[in-house]
Amino acid sequence: MAADGSADVDPRQTGRKFGEVSVEVRSERSATGQSGGAVGTPAGTGVGTVMTTLNKILAVAGVALLLAGLALGFRSVSADATSCGSVFQPARGITPMACDGRLNNSATGVTVLMIVGGLAVAGAITLKVVRDRVAA
């Protein structure tokens, strides 16, 4: 027993002693058979973390493009001070021929945005499924 009342303990058996705190450093490999950092550090470093981040970015970008296409589809188009309506709801009745070109251009933009957004979301889902199958 030491003078301060604590038990005499060999520091080589309990780990390193810094002040009153005992710190034990060992690798995960010794405990789990897997390589990694020190015990207690997050194991999610490397390619898996990068792929997860890129997958989330791809999914969010895809959803944003889909929503942008949807919003542009409801945006009103006008030609020569005449309201032509929107891609999803063209104006009723007879409209000037100038509206045809404007609505056609707007419809092309909406279609491109929604296709690219759908492909991005589908790509994110595909990457997730493939990564999960590889990990299993």
Residues in the chain: 136
The model's pLDDT over 38-67, given as tens digits with 9 standing for 90+, comes to 555 555 556 678 888 889 999 999 999 999
Query: Per residue in 29-62, is it b (16+ CB within 10 Å) or e — as a string?
Result: eeeeeeeeeeeeeeeeeeeeeeeeeebeebbebb
Q: Is the pLDDT of residue 8 over 70?
A: no
pLDDT tens per residue across span 79-90: 888 888 999 888
Given this model, what pLDDT does residue 105 score? 93
Delimit the domains of the chain by residue range.
16-42, 47-135
Q: What is the pLDDT of residue 40?
A: 54
pLDDT greater than 80 at residue 100: yes
Instruction: Give the alpha-carbon dihedral of 33, 36, 37, 41, to 10 degrees.
Output: -90
Amino acid at 65: L
Task: Look at 30 and 120; give whichever has higher pLDDT.
Answer: 120
pLDDT attached to residue 92: 85
Mean pLDDT value across the chain: 78
pLDDT over 90 at 26, yes or no:
no
